[in-house]
Amino acid sequence: MKRSKKSKPVESIRVCEDCGNPLVWTFIHAGCEYYCPSCGAMGDMFIGNKIHYPRKALIEKAKRIKARFNRYRKGLWSGGGRKRGCELCDKGEYHLQHLTPEEKKAHEAGLRGLERMKTCKGR
């Protein structure tokens, strides 16, 4: 599924209650749709503060954070993720329970990347 709303103006951005940086929408943590790559905060779809018609600087920041997050996110498997066409997943396991060595490496690299993204601890 591809989203095609590139030209749509940004109406709102959700920012972290703890550090004020933009949140990302993700499913890497089961039950937590929003994640803050800047401080590691996460929660359901109601966390954070919604900024309506954000300034350009905030939009740019959100884009940067999202792009970097997506780079690390690629190799990550969420606790509740299943891989299409995977035999063991079809049997009911989560893919995280039986990663191949390469997938495990990519997963761990992704986790380390997310750790490095946390720049504003305690702010």
Q: How many Å apart are CA 101 and CA 103, to the nearest integer?
A: 5
CB of 8 to Zn ion, least distance (A): 25
- Spell out the residues 6+ positions from residue 106 whose beta carbon is closer than 8 angstroms to its own: 74, 75, 76
CB of 100 to Zn ion, least distance (A): 9
The reply to whether 24 sits near Zn ion by the rule CB under 5 A is: no
- By beta-carbon proximity to Zn ion, the closer residue of 2 and 26 is 26
State whether residue 41 is helix, strand or coil: coil
Span interacting with Zn ion, options 13-21, 27-35, 67-75, 101-109, rule CB under 5 A: 13-21
Six token digits for residue 120: 């504003």
Which residues are bridge partners to 106 per DSSP?
Answer: none
Span interacting with Zn ion, options 1-9, 49-57, 84-92, 100-108, rule CB under 5 A: 84-92
Site pattern 26..65 for Zn ion (x: CB under 5 A): ----------x-xx-x------------------------
Q: How many Å apart are CA 46 and CA 31, to the nearest integer?
A: 12
Among 89, 109, 111, 117, binds Zn ion (CB under 5 A): 89
Q: How many Å apart are CA 87 and CA 1, to the nearest integer?
A: 23
Six token digits for residue 30: 């089961």
1 secondary structure, DSSP code = -
The reply to whether 18 sits near Zn ion by the rule CB under 5 A is: yes
Span interacting with Zn ion, options 12-20, 60-68, 70-78, 105-113, rule CB under 5 A: 12-20
